[in-house]
Each structure stands twice: as C-alpha cells, then as structure tokens.
Amino acid sequence: MKITDTGDLWWKNAVVYCLDVETFLDWDGDGCGDFTGLAQRIDYLAELGVTCLWLRPFYPSPDRDVGYDITDFYGVDGRLGSHGDLVEAIRTARDRGIRVIADLVVNHTSDKHPWFRSARSSPNSPYRDWYVWRDEPEKEAGAPVFPDQETSDWQYDEKAGQYYLHRFYRHQPDLNVTNPVVRDEIAKVMGFWLQLGLDGFRVDAVPFLLETMGVTDGARKLPHPHDYLRELRGFVGRRSGDGILLGEVNLARDQQLEFFGGSDGDELTMQFDFISMQKLYLSMARQDARPLAEALLDRPPLALESQWATFVRNHDELTLDKLTDSERAEVFAAFGPDPSMQVYGRGLRRRIPAMLGGDPRRIRMVYSLLFSLPGTPVLFYGEEIGMGENLAAEGRYAVRTPMQWTSGKNGGFSSAAPSRLPGPIPDGGFSPEHVNVQDQRRDPGSLLNFMALLTKRYRECPELGWGSFEVLDQPYAEVLAHRCTWDDGSLVAVHNLGSEPRTVPLKLDDCDESVVLADQLCDGTTPLDGSGSAEIVLDGYGYRWLRVARPGDRGVW
C-alpha cells in the first residue's frame, strides 16, 4: 500500500489527543497540573500512538470557563508554568514525532482582559471598537449558548453605559472582528504561537467568530466572513507551511462545506463531525446502525486536503442538539436518564464507560468503531483507560476530572491535599483504585493496550484517513459494515451495535476466491468465494477489521 503524491498532509491520518494541562499531571505538588508534568508524560502519549496533541487553553485566565476566558493571548497561565516550560513540552513532543496544536479562542476575551477594561472605561478608548456595543440590545438576538446561566446575548455595562455582545457567558465579551485592527491582532497572536513551535490551532466557536451580529457600522462589515476564514488559513500556511486549523463548527450538514472552503479546501483544514457523533449515540441507543450510516453517507464530499475529525467525547457536554426532541429523549433514556446527568436540556455530562454501564465489550466496540470511521480520530484524555465522570462536579466539569495515573493518592495526579485539586476525582467503580494507567500498562488485556492497538492499526491503514467510504449491504439493522479504499488498499470494518451475536453475509463485488479477508485486530483470515462473498461472525457488540488481501499484497501480514 502506498501513499501517492499527496504532499505532507499529516493531519489526514493523525491520532489527536486533547488534554488540559491543568488536569493532566501536577509535577510541583501545588495541586495544579503543569507543563513539566506534561513533558514527563509525552512518552506515555507516544506509546499510546498519539501523533498530534491538542492543548486546551493554557493562557492567563480568571478560569471561569476552564481557560476559555482569556486575559492575555500571548501569555502562559503561571500556575501551569512559564513560556520556557511550554516550549520544553512542545520540543519533547516533537522529538517523539508528536505535533502540537492549541486552542485559539478569539471569538471573545475575558471581561478582565486589559482590552475590555479599557474599552468599557470610555467611548474614546482605543479599544472601544474592539468589542460590539449597542445602546439597546438587539431584538433579533440569537439563543444563548448557556441557557442555564444566560438569558440574553447582550449585557448592560454600567461603566460603559451601553450593552455589549457576548455569545457565551456575560464574562466573555465578543471581539469585533469587523475591526481590521482586531483582525491584525488575531493574526499576530497566531503568528506568535506558530513561531514558538505550534503546528496549528483548534479554533473555538468558528461560526460565532465569523458572524457580525450587532455590528451596525455598514462600512465595517466583513467583506465576506468566509474570506476572513480563508485569510486565517492562508496566514497559517504562509507562516508554518503545514499548520492546520481544526474548527469547532457544530452546524447542520448543508452548512459545513462552506467552512472547509468548498471544493477549494482553503478554509478550515478539519472540522469535528458533530453530526456523526450525535447519530452514533442514537444508533447505540437504538441498537440500530442506520442513523450513523446515514450521517456518514450524508457528509459533503471534501477536497483532498480537507478532513473530518471524528470523536465520541470531548471536554464539553455530549451535545445532542442536532437530534430531534424525541431522538434526544431516546439517547437520554439510554445513557443519562437522571436529570443530574443532563445539562442545558441538550446534552449529557458523562463519559462513555459510565454511560455504557462499564460493559467492556460495548466500550471496545465504540472505540473500534471510532478508529475505523473515515477521518482523523480525536481522543479526550482518560478515554484510553476508560475514565468515568464525577457528577458531584458542577456542570461540564463532571468530565474534566484529573487524569488517573495510579491507584494511589489523588490517582497519582498530584501530591497536594485533595482540596487543592482542580476538581473531585471519580469515586466508586471508576475511582483510581479501579481505573488507572499504571495497572493497565501491566495488563496486556487492558483497555489501554487495546487503544494502543487501535492507534497502530489505524496508522497502518491509510484507507481510513485518506480513502473513499462505502456502506456494505447486509441484512442486520444493528450491524454497520463499511469499507474504505485508498489506492490499492482496502479495509472492511464490521461492527455489531446489538447484544446478540450475528453472522453477517458480505459480498465484495470486485473480489473473487483469490482474495482473503485478513483480521487486523485479532488472528484469522476468512476466504471469499468465487462471487466475493463470505460470512463474518460477530459476537454481541463484536467488531472486526478485515483487510482485503489480494495475492501478492505486500501491505498485509
């Protein structure tokens, strides 16, 4: 199997791992994770097969939104370390072949940012026009993103004597990107971090960043919001060559292609596939793979350099906002029936193993499915060992608990008193006593070692990141059989979302009896007959990756 002349599009088959330095490993014992701790664990990530690290915001912040409320875009939160410590961690990662990207959160600042302090202090402040002000709140305001805490996108500011726009919390005033000076500053911020060694950004809240809501000065309208996104991508390209923009765009299918830059692929490099993620949960709840299959088939066709980022959990609520009310109710009933597990009326504040009742067959099936989907998989820290949530933590913090390294004090995260940790550690069946890295490293049958196998196989199967995708016909609603093909390589993946064993008949029209299906996650081969047919046996919640092996293939072993 070969990758033909496609340039260095490293993100097309990367394994991305998202972590918050604050909750990963506390090296100096003050209760807060730090860059020195992260640097100590880069080898762990390399061993897991991670090729791209996504750092959640590490900038100075009052930390009212886990760092998404920034007071200095050029700084490093002193609790996590210095610029020097950050650069050491980046250098160590690069040395192990791991690229590093970080959150770029420029839709808004913290209300404690010096720019906003100045802006609100006087209409004549040079920073006044860096934010969006109105004498009266707009009537056609959008729905607040956090309806439990906000009732409007506009907040009256006593000092300013005007309302300012905030699409998220009121302590996060929106920047005015129609102001060219703001756009220049954003470019400088990106240039700064690229120069320091980052390989790109996870761009926060892209549709909100591009919108010009509330801006009344016609002369200041962006020529076209997507021209601006194209400018940002062009800037990253010029400064870093192969740097990426991985965008958070949770929009309907028909709006996504535009954010990639259509068939030119010159805006976002990657987008999270929120639609497939949500349909995957619906499929699991129903034990019916068809909603997921439909979502995957419904993806718009992308330019070669564009890519979907696939994921099953992230640091936010498991949003189900793109499902209908009744579909969402089905997922809630299956995976988070108690109101304490739900948040904002649209999501779940749980991690996968807890939602699946700790069933190891089902947990592995989900991750096998994730890694077999066409796209680039993104893991949220702790998924690789099956961490659970702590519902005692507030809101979305339930899934942002410290990493569990050992069964010892504070799960080996920190030697500080538990009261100094960033959040409570899960108790019960998902406590560090039962779920930790140290034990799983020593256990060949652990989830951690299974995940390392998945990352290896994913990297060995470029069809998954690069190839074309088709759903294979077979008779069972609960089974997803799909095939990814790239160049002369082809991989079939079969997943059973149901609890009953199934024997799945498959037919590969372009194959005959000279071809065998070679298992990639376990030993075994299945011969095809003269018509290219075979029966694939799956356990309840079973999964198989099968390489389509033709005589003389050198890519198979």
What gap in Å lies between CA 125 and CA 118, rounded to an integer? 6
Closest to ligand NOJ by CB, 44 vs 146, is 146
Binding mask 412-451 for ligand NOJ (x = CB under 6 A): ----------------------------------------
Q: How far is CA 43 from the centre of its chain?
A: 21
* DSSP secondary structure of 147-193: TTT-S-SEEEETTTTEEEE-SS-TTSPBB-TTSHHHHHHHHHHHHHH
What gap in Å lies between CA 138 and CA 210, rounded to an integer? 18
Give the nearest distance from C-beta 169 to ligand NOJ in angstroms.
Answer: 7
Closest to ligand NOJ by CB, 67 vs 243, is 67
Closest CA to 375 of 254, 469, 471: 469
Q: Which of 103, 129, 199, 248 is catalytic?
A: 248
Give the nearest distance from C-beta 404 to ligand NOJ in angstroms.
Answer: 22
Give the nearest distance from C-beta 371 to ligand NOJ in angstroms.
Answer: 23
Give the nearest distance from C-beta 505 to ligand NOJ in angstroms.
Answer: 43
**CB count, 10 Å around CB of 255?**
11
Size of the site for ligand NOJ (CB under 6 A): 8
Closest to ligand NOJ by CB, 248 vs 288, is 248
Q: Which of 22, 34, 65, 305 binds ligand NOJ (CB under 6 A)?
A: 65
What gap in Å lies between CA 498 and CA 517, rounded to an integer? 23
Binding mask 176-205 for ligand NOJ (x = CB under 6 A): ----------------------------xx
Give the nearest distance from C-beta 528 to ligand NOJ in angstroms.
Answer: 45
Residue 492 phi/psi, 5° resolution?
A: -105, 135
Q: Which of 17, 115, 131, 168 binds ligand NOJ (CB under 6 A)?
A: 168
Residue 316 binds to ligand NOJ (criterion: CB under 6 A):
yes
Residue 41 phi/psi, 5° resolution?
A: -110, 10
Residue 317 binds to ligand NOJ (criterion: CB under 6 A):
no
Closest to ligand NOJ by CB, 390 vs 436, is 390
Yes or no: say if 40 and 27 are a contact pair by the CB < 8 Å rule: yes
Residue 68 binds to ligand NOJ (criterion: CB under 6 A):
yes
The interface with ligand NOJ within residues 228-267 (CB under 6 A) comprises: 248
Amino acid at 202: R
The interface with ligand NOJ within residues 378-397 (CB under 6 A) comprises: none
Residue 34 binds to ligand NOJ (criterion: CB under 6 A):
no
Is 204 noted as a catalytic residue in this protein? Answer: yes
Yes or no: say if 65 and 395 are a contact pair by the CB < 8 Å rule: no
Closest to ligand NOJ by CB, 65 vs 153, is 65
Q: Which of 129, 199, 204, 463 is catalytic?
A: 204
Tell me the residue number closest to ligand NOJ, measured at CB: 68
Give the nearest distance from C-beta 549 to ligand NOJ in angstroms.
Answer: 42
Is 248 noted as a catalytic residue in this protein? Answer: yes
Amino acid at 479: V
Give the nearest distance from C-beta 354 to ligand NOJ in angstroms.
Answer: 20
Closest CA to 376 of 294, 462, 296, 452: 462
DSSP bridge pairs for 376:
309
**Total residue length of the chain:** 557
Closest to ligand NOJ by CB, 164 vs 486, is 164
Q: Which of 9, 101, 105, 356 binds ligand NOJ (CB under 6 A)?
A: 105
Give the nearest distance from C-beta 316 to ligand NOJ in angstroms.
Answer: 5
Question: In this structure, what token pair is assigned to residue 41?
Answer: 């664990």
Closest to ligand NOJ by CB, 129 vs 316, is 316
Q: To which H or E segment does residue 88 belong?
A: helix 83-95
Question: In this structure, what token pair is assigned to residue 49?
Answer: 């097969």
Q: To which H or E segment does residue 48 belong?
A: helix 42-48
What residues contact 369, with CB distance under 8 A and at least 6 apart?
Answer: 280, 480, 493, 495, 543
Q: How far is CA 32 from the centre of its chain?
A: 23
Closest to ligand NOJ by CB, 20 vs 34, is 20
Q: How far is CA 188 from CA 61, 106, 430, 431, in A?
A: 19, 12, 43, 43
What gap in Å lies between CA 287 and CA 478, rounded to an integer? 5
Footprint of ligand NOJ (CB under 6 A): 65, 68, 105, 168, 204-205, 248, 316
Which residues are designated catalytic? 204, 248
